[in-house]
Amino acid sequence: MSQDTPVSQMAEHLRAQLRHHNYQYYVLDAPTVPDVEYDRLFQQLKALETDHPELITDDSPTQRVGDIPLASFGQIDHEMPMLSLDNAFDGDDMRAFDKRLKDRLDQPDTELEYACEPKLDGIAVSLLYEDGKLIRGATRGDGSTGEDITQNVRTINSIPLRLLGEGYPRRLEVRGEIYMPKAGFDKLNKLAVSRDEKPFVNPRNAAAGSLRQLDSRITASRPLEMCCYSVGIVEGELADTHTGVLKQLSGWGLKINPEMQAVTGVEGCLEYYTELSARRDALPYDIDGIVFKVNSLRTQQRLGFVSRAPRWAIAHKFPAQEELTEVKAIEFQVGRTGAITPVARLEPVFVGGVTVSNATLHNMDEVERLGVRAGDSVVIRRAGDVIPQIVSVVAERRPVGTEPVIMPQSCPVCDSAVIRLEDEAVARCSGGLSCPAQRKEALKHYISRKAMDIDGLGEKLIDALVERELVHSPADLYHLKHLQLSKMERMGDKSATNVLNSIEVSKQTELPRFIYALGIREVGEATARTLAMHFGSLEAVKAADEDMLQQAPDVGPVVARYILSFFRQPHNLDVIQALIDAGVHWADIEVSEQSVPLDGQTWVLTGTLEQLTRSEAKERLQNLGAKVAGSVSKKTSYVVAGAAAGSKLEKAESLGIEVLDESQLLVRLAELEA
Ligand code: IVH
């Protein structure tokens, strides 16, 4: 910029640049300059405005956050009511909706074009722009009257204070959803916990709470975004389709959902629904369904409204991920390592697509954080494959006479003392393998598929064998007699023979399985394999000291200490010897560079493989030294994409990670295993 440019022009030039970079960064998520450059321009403008306060405009990027808190929110009457949507819960509802429209339009055989968008789970708001300037922001309220939240919406960076480009209507009311992305929510809650503050229950509540602040500086500190999905008052011309209008909004600097798409007919809608449901958990924000709208605005007009909802739109809801239920009791379970876990027994409730009747409470810190008691009404959440969890207690529904939960002093199963070490969140039964609960869990682990894989010996049979004192340690399994088994409940001659056969077959095993089966704390399947590949024999693992153990990939000081302490306990050595004496055997592994050609590499498998099962592919890769991970990151070396691979494949492509298909994987495995 040359010296003789008038200061006001310079200020306007800086503003235009800042608006552009703001749009690239917050709306398109594609910044073109580094943050420091944005900061430099911002500081330059700020300095200019400090020297020349008369140049400050209220749509200047420096004016987002007001410093005077409001006494209360004003009210705003919506010139056009903010409507709600009808819901569909399955394909039949959707087909009925489509048929209603076609019948009403008298075109039973012509497919309608629909605009599809995710239904964001946030707060509906209206923004009013006059001559391109944001002049007002309001909540939906009851649809006719909302609250004036102008101060707060101005702090949200994806909302332009001035529209970009030109050609926008003189008055333009934009409607959309303000929401908190999942990552921002997690960060905000971590911060709250670290400050001993109460975390938010979910991103929607966090967004609502953040918008309801009278002090906009608080709102400004919250990671909020806005995505636009329709218009209200328009004084001027707009495109003649819904998707066309939204694209215009995007051109003027407003954020629209990148998943928006136009499809033909109800079957197109259902395909979109299925595709997005599969990616729901991977989306960076919460959604609770898909909104389908007739794309032609003329057709929308012909269809009109019924009471408070348009005929031409519908929300196809996902099964609820949160539900209300009652805690019948809180019990304590004893795990394989003695960990005593409080578990809530629930009035069964259908949530996230399954019936849930138990929810782990993890440890007493969690019980205290939630303040949960038997008898409470609680919000249960089950999202995707995540285990069901209690999100919060509905305090006002607590019945009289409930009691706080107390950690038992002695093990509920064996009565041994319960000990909680200072640096651990969990309390443990001190009974070790004398505790039947720990014994049962240790045995169940020993026989499990990824350990010794003794099929036929189910969990119920283990419980019964331990209860009858027929089995104390894994070695006892190998001394079971046909008569003992056939006399057990629901066992006959044939099943007893089958069980004995699979026990016999399991004697011939592999070193990684055997190490995993021992149930050493923190030694999962992958670490057991690493130990086997690194040391080659059980003797070598046993003989290793802490430093040597840490030489194995992925073994840190904590795991090394657990391994060491396991092999120092005479009781464990006795069990191993008894197993070997009973005939359990394996081949040692030759330790050489050759056996780990994929050492240090991380592979991710996604989609459906046709010639291999996932676990076969995983095992073969691990045998070659690779780590097989569940999610794609910058550290991923290769992604194997089978049929119908979804978001992991997309992520790999976006990170530029090499992707192999199944046949390429097979060729590579064959070469390396040769
Ligand atoms: S359209 C006339 N589109 O869902 C059409 N709504 O009951 C009005 N919502 O409160 C809404 N995402 O806040 C529309 N892509 C989307 C949406 C969406 C979320 C919310 C909206 C409204 C509720 C509908």
Catalytic member of 46, 99, 102, 119: 119
DSSP state of 383: -
Span from the CA of 435 to the centroid of ligand 1 (angstroms): 56
- Between CA 124 and CA 177 the distance in angstroms is 5
**What pLDDT score was predicted for residue 593?**
58
Q: Which of 629, 612, 630 is nearest to 669 (CA)?
A: 612
| pTM reported for the whole predicted model | 0.62
What value does the mean pLDDT of the chain take? 91
Range 406-431 average pLDDT: 90
**Are the beta carbons of 492 and 534 closer than 8 angstroms?**
no
pLDDT at position 2 over 70:
no
**Are the beta carbons of 206 and 222 closer than 8 angstroms?**
yes
Q: Per residue in 317-344, pLDDT tens?
A: 988 788 899 999 999 999 998 999 999 9
Query: What size, in residues, is the chain?
Result: 674
Name residue 143's beta-bridge partners: none
Confidence band for 586, pLDDT divided at 50, 70 and 90: very high
Q: Which residues contact 583 (CB under 8 A, 6 or more apart)?
A: 478, 507
Residue 423 CB-density burial (10 A; 0-12 exposed, 13-18 middle, 19+ buried): exposed
Q: For residue 21, give both structure tokens.
A: 């970079």
pLDDT at position 96 over 90:
yes
Q: Per residue in 275-306, pLDDT tens?
A: 999 899 889 999 999 999 999 999 999 999 98
Choice from 116, 175, 229, 308 to test ligand 1 binding pocket (greatest atom count within 8 A of CB): 229
Q: Which of 354, 388, 313 is nearest to 88 (CA)?
A: 313
Range 89-114 average pLDDT: 96
- Between CA 672 and CA 674 the distance in angstroms is 5
Distances (CA, A) of 569 to 416, 562, 573: 19, 11, 7
Beta 602-606 vs 638-641: how paired, if at all?
parallel
Q: Per residue in 192-243, pLDDT tens?
A: 988 988 888 889 999 999 999 999 999 999 999 999 999 999 999 999 999 9
Question: How many other β-carbons are positioned within 10 Å of the β-carbon of residue 548?
Answer: 16
pLDDT at position 4 over 60:
no
Q: Whose CA is nearest to atom 23 of ligand 1?
A: 84
- Provide residues with CB under 6 Å of ligand 1: 83-85, 117, 119-120, 124, 140, 177, 229-230, 291, 310, 313, 315
How far from each other are the two terminal CA atoms of the chain, in whole angstroms? 67
**Are the beta carbons of 256 and 177 closer than 8 angstroms?**
no
Confidence band for 1, pLDDT divided at 50, 70 and 90: very low
The verdict on whether 119 is a catalytic residue reads yes
Least-confidence region, from 383-392, 438-447, 573-582, 590-599: 590-599
Q: Which residues contact 566 (CB under 8 A, 6 or more apart)?
A: 518, 520, 521, 572
Identify the three-state secondary structure at position 659.
Answer: strand
**What pLDDT score was predicted for residue 420?**
86
- Between CA 563 and CA 178 the distance in angstroms is 50
**Are the beta carbons of 338 and 435 closer than 8 angstroms?**
yes
Range 81-100 average pLDDT: 94
Choice from 78, 80, 83, 84 to test ligand 1 binding pocket (greatest atom count within 8 A of CB): 84
Q: For residue 22, give both structure tokens.
A: 């703001």
Least-confidence region, from 127-141, 292-306, 352-366: 352-366
For the chain, give the longest Cα–Cα distance: 104
Q: Which residues contact 505 (CB under 8 A, 6 or more apart)?
A: none
- Between CA 395 and CA 393 the distance in angstroms is 6
**Are the beta carbons of 366 and 395 closer than 8 angstroms?**
no
For 274-308, letters b (16+ CB in 10 Å) and e give: eebeeebeebebbbbbbbbbbbbbebbeebeeeee
Name residue 606's beta-bridge partners: 641
Q: Per residue in 56-72, pLDDT tens?
A: 998 999 998 877 888 88
Identify the three-state secondary structure at position 551.
Answer: helix
